[in-house]
Amino acid sequence: MASPSRRLQTKPVITCFKSVLLIYTFIFWITGVILLAVGIWGKVSLENYFSLLNEKATNVPFVLIATGTVIILLGTFGCFATCRASAWMLKLYAMFLTLVFLVELVAAIVGFVFRHEIKNSFKNNYEKALKQYNSTGDYRSHAVDKIQNTLIGIFLAYCLSRAITNNQYEIV
């Protein structure tokens, strides 16, 4: 009787494993494209929102662009490793996938844990920008104008001005 590892080396099983791995790699590659697109969109369209956050937050689009690019490259490597059926390439790809998964898990946990601080930082900087509106003519006044000219900005400005009014601040 053949050993268990010998039974898994039949051509249909290997073809099935390759197909499943290629589908997974394609999905992984698509998530990289989505991260890259969101990063580029954030850099191009959401710069005003990031300027009202602290200086560290302006790097968020660059992080998304870099992460998306790395995932696209790793997904391409995974496709080549799967098609060539190279054992060392598949092991390296599995190691990269594990590392990327752990980094994404940590990022999601950190984002969830600090979500209130991110919201409060934006709110405080928006309040500060409203109080100092056009007093110095700095980038924050320009950012407030840009945000209030967009639909998302109108809704955000309304919600924040309500919060400021509820906290006894004067809106000009």
pLDDT at position 6, please? 59
Q: What angle do CA 148, 58, 53 make, to 5 degrees?
A: 50
pLDDT tens sequence across 22-34? 888 888 889 889 9
Given this model, what pLDDT does residue 72 score? 92
Distance in angstroms (rounded) separating the CA atoms of residues 142 and 91: 51
Q: What mean pLDDT do residues 158-164 have?
A: 63
pLDDT reported for residue 136: 59
Structure tokens at 152: 């998302």
Closest by CA to 125, choosing from 56, 52, 55, is: 52
Taking the complete model, does pTM exceed 0.95, yes or no?
A: no
Distances (CA, A) of 104 to 31, 67, 74, 110: 12, 10, 15, 10
Please count the other Cβ atoms lying within 10 Å of the Cβ belonging to residue 96: 19
Amino acid identity, position 134: N
Q: How far, in Å, CA of 36 to CA of 71, rounded?
A: 9
Q: Regarding predicted confidence, which is higher, 131 or 152?
A: 131
DSSP for 66-87, please give it. Answer: HHHHHHHHHHHHHHHHHHHT-H
- Per the prediction, the chain carries an average pLDDT of 76
Q: What's the pLDDT tens digit per position in 36-64? A: 998 898 888 777 677 666 666 667 788 88
